[in-house]
Amino acid sequence: MNRFLTGIPFCLTAILSFAADIPDHAPEDLLMLESSEAKIGIDRAKGASITWLSWNGYPNNTVNLYDPGRLIQQSYYAGKRLDRRADGQTPSWSPWSWNPIQGGGTGSWARVTRFEHRKDRGLLFGETIPKLWDMPDEEAQAIMRQWTRFEKDMPRVVVVKNQLVCKREPTDRWGPAHPSPQELPACYFTRNFDTFKSYQGEQRWNTLSQKAGPPWGRTKPPLKAMACFNKEGQGIAIYSPASGETWNFGPHVNAPSKDPKGGPCVHIAPVGRVRLGPRSTYEYRYWLIVGTQAQITSDLDRLIQSYSSERGTLTEPGAKSAD
């Protein structure tokens, strides 16, 4: 989740203490999907979030797993910011809006209700009851679903479809819908991928400078595509045509690390404003592209040509849902 999206400062000490109390989990909780060039995995013990991403040019895991707010995952915001410290709200995250997180809350992982490798379709599927980020262990009145597969004939490209189904009471304390910034999605990678570039089209990239945070930097990628690279030239790009103009990005603390479980990380979040109500359903897709800059450029050009007009779909009760 994005610790700066709503203007609340990030408390590193709090995160360090919570992360130390969260148990690790067995590797059999991981479902993996492989192409000839890349590997992607989702974790039952971590909300069925994406917890593994590697490829031939970088065979180690690139996803940061330090706490339930990291990973590659769904994260949404809605309603009023509330002071719920009397109910056990984490003081560092008060006041806070309704913020369901696929990975979990400040001190616990989210519960997964379906966890499937649909081998006949080359698909990983997860269904999760998310946690509210500001609470140590409170389930959100929501369901998150995620479909993960490789893009057809593009073995370095993963396409992910995310869905949020809100099940709040219409008269609950967070109130009616109003436009809020959403992370589409929230991505955290290992700290060594700290060279950030925005794709400009026509094989051109703009290298971005951002000092170690918090807070995160902000940029406006014109084609809704950004990447982060390591010193060896291997990289990860995110293409999110459902996002808005402004994305958040940056390295976290000045401490080099290749450790997926380490505190240092880098972050990219495509941001878009969506008016989530108590009973809204929201769906969108995004793409992860891995490899060298030349490989990523070639794949991005194909994706942008095919999907640049795609947007998220917001439906309300009584409306026809998206397929």
Q: Where are the domains of the chain?
A: 12-315
**pTM of the entire predicted model:** 0.92
Q: Is 296 helix (H, G, I), strand (E, B) or coil?
A: helix
By the 10 Å C-beta count (0-12 exposed, 13-18 middle, 19+ buried), 287 is classed as: buried
Look at the block and give the residue holding tokens 């170690």.
212
Q: Is 177 helix (H, G, I), strand (E, B) or coil?
A: coil
**The CA-based dihedral angle spanning residues 112, 14, 1, 30, taken in that order and rounded to the nearest 10 degrees:** -40
Average pLDDT in the 139-147 region?
99
User: Could you confirm whether domain 12-315 is CATH 2.70.98?
Assistant: yes
Q: Please give the share of the chain, as a percent, with pLDDT higher than 70.
A: 89
Using one digit for the tens of pLDDT, what is the confidence trace for 182-236?
Answer: 999 999 999 999 999 999 999 999 999 999 988 999 999 999 999 999 999 999 9
Using one digit for the tens of pLDDT, what is the confidence trace for 34-58?
Answer: 999 999 999 999 999 999 999 999 9
